[in-house]
Amino acid sequence: MTPMKISGFGRYLPRRIRMSLELDAAFGEAAGWTENKFGIRQRCVAAPDETSSFMGAAAARDALAMSGWESGAFDVLIGACGVMEQPIPGTSVLIQNALGLGKSGIWAFDVNQTCLSFLTALDVAAMGMETGRFKRVLIVSSDIASAGLDMKDPQTASIFGDGAAAVCVEKGDDRDGPGLISRCFETYGEGKDLATLRSGGTRIRVEDGFDALVEGSHFQMDAFGIFKAAARSLPIIIDKVLGEAGLTRETVDLVVCHQASQPGVEHVRRLMGGDPARVIDLFATVGNQIAASLPSMLVEAHATGRLKPGTSVLLLGTAAGISAAAMVLRT
216: left (phi over 0), alpha (psi -120 to 50) or beta: alpha
Give the side-chain half-sphere CA count within 13 A for 166.
Answer: 33
Q: What is the pLDDT of residue 276?
A: 79
Q: What is the pLDDT of residue 228?
A: 82
Q: What is the pLDDT of residue 277?
A: 86
Spatial neighbors of 251 by CB under 8 A, at least 6 apart, are 312
Q: How far is residue 122's CA from residue 80's CA, in Å, rounded to a whole number?
A: 9
Low-confidence ranges of the chain (pLDDT < 70): none
Instruction: Kindly list the structural domains of the chain, giving each domain's residue range(s) and its CATH number in brackets, ordered by start.
Output: 2-171 (3.40.47.10), 179-330 (3.40.47.10)
pLDDT in tens, 39-79: 999 999 999 999 999 999 999 999 999 999 988 899 999 99
* Alpha helices (runs of H) in the chain, residue ranges in sequence order: 20-27, 33-38, 52-67, 91-98, 117-130, 154-157, 210-216, 223-244, 262-272, 283-286, 293-303
Q: What is the pLDDT of residue 239?
A: 97
Q: What is the pLDDT of residue 321?
A: 85
pLDDT in tens, 289-319: 999 999 999 999 999 999 999 999 999 999 9
